[in-house]
Structure 1
Amino acid sequence: MKKGLRVLLIILLFFLGGVTVFMASSVLFNWFGIRELEGNYVPFVVFANLICGAIYLYAGYLSVKKRTKAVRWLIYATGLLLITSIAFAVYVYMGGVHEEKTVLALVFRTSITAILAWLSYYTTNNAQVLKEA
């Protein structure tokens, strides 16, 4: 069962990483006119998403290589998203212009990243993960 979950994790990491890097970079660099479709995007949130997309791809690579460091990188991504959520809350409180979908997207991405971190921990040798920390 763990092997099947590990394969699912790897597929999810590469898929989410690829989509995230594509969409975030498209908004930041205005590729394919996607920036206009996003409306009032918040640049630091999009940049954090871009970093997390790269982390998903790297964690996918580490998972393929059966390295336990993938867990640590996914925890870093979860932390980055939590910090970004706090900064976004301050930004909104100060009257920053944003789209309502940004709130839901941050909650969704943070939750998914935490689940991916847990799944990565569950599918690896847990004793080895704790030893490396």
Structure 2
Amino acid sequence: MKKALPYLLASILAAFGLLTLFLSTSIIFDLFGVRAKEGNYVLFVVCANFVSSMLYLFAAYGFIESKKWTAPLLGISVIVLILAFAGLFIHINAGGIYETKTIGAMAFRITVTLVFSALAYFMISKNKKLQL
């Protein structure tokens, strides 16, 4: 079980990252008509999700290889998402249009990223010396 857990976590994180990558690039580049279906999206939130998706994919590799940089990488993703979330609230208070589901989606994404960051810290960082 101990050897399977990193692969399981990496698989979940990679799937989450690939889904996020697909959706964010589909909105940014207007692929497959996704932009019209999303309604009033906020571009900087979509761009933050795109950046996070790339970080998720690198972190999935870090889980498999037990790299100590996995937790800090996910921490960077959390910071990017929190900054985008703060920017979203500024956008909303300035009267900008948005979808209400964006708030819940951002809270969910931040929570998931925090959980994976904590798992990486306790599974990898606490047990290994720095590996580059």
Q: TM-score range by the shorter chain?
A: over 0.9
Please list every run of 5 or more consecutive structure 2 residues that lacks an aligned counterpart in the other structure.
none
Q: C-alpha distance in 2, partners of 1:84/1:127?
A: 32
- Partner residue of 1:100? 100
Q: C-alpha distance in 1, partners of 2:105/2:72?
A: 23
Q: Secondary structure at the residue paired with 1:31? A: coil
Please list every run of 5 or more consecutive structure 1 residues that lacks an aligned counterpart in the other structure.
none
- Partner residue of 2:58? 58
Map residues 119-130 of structure 1 onto 2, 5 A cutoff. Answer: 119-128=119-128
Change beyond 3 A, Cα 1:73–1:125:
closer
Tell me, yes or no, if the aligned pair for 1:6 and 1:120 is still in contact at 8 Å: no
Q: C-alpha distance in 2, partners of 1:107/1:57?
A: 20
- Partner residue of 1:26? 26
Aligned residues: 131
Letter in structure 2 aligned against 1:40? N
Map residues 73-84 of structure 1 onto 2, 5 A cutoff. Answer: 73-84=73-84
Tell me, yes or no, if the aligned pair for 2:71 and 2:125 is still in contact at 8 Å: no
TM-score (norm 2): 0.92
Deviation (angstroms), 1:2: 4.2
Tell me, yes or no, if the aligned pair for 1:3 and 1:123 is still in contact at 8 Å: no
Q: C-alpha distance in 2, partners of 1:51/1:107?
A: 16
Task: Tell me whether 27-36 or 115-124 shows the greater mean CA deviation.
Answer: 115-124
Deviation (angstroms), 1:67: 0.9
Letter in structure 1 aligned against 2:18? G
Structure 1 residue ranges, 4+ long, deviating more than 2 angstroms after superposition: 1-5
Map residues 1-40 of structure 1 onto 2, 5 A cutoff. Answer: 1-40=1-40
Q: C-alpha distance in 2, partners of 1:8/1:74?
A: 17
Letter in structure 2 aligned against 1:112? V
Q: C-alpha distance in 1, partners of 2:49/2:86?
A: 14
Q: C-alpha distance in 1, partners of 2:126/2:4?
A: 17
Q: C-alpha distance in 2, partners of 1:111/1:27?
A: 23
Letter in structure 2 aligned against 1:35? R
Deviation (angstroms), 1:127: 4.8
Higher fraction of helix? 1
The share of aligned pairs that are identical, in percent, is 32
Q: C-alpha distance in 2, partners of 1:101/1:117?
A: 24
Task: Tell me whether 118-127 or 106-115 shows the greater mean CA deviation.
Answer: 118-127
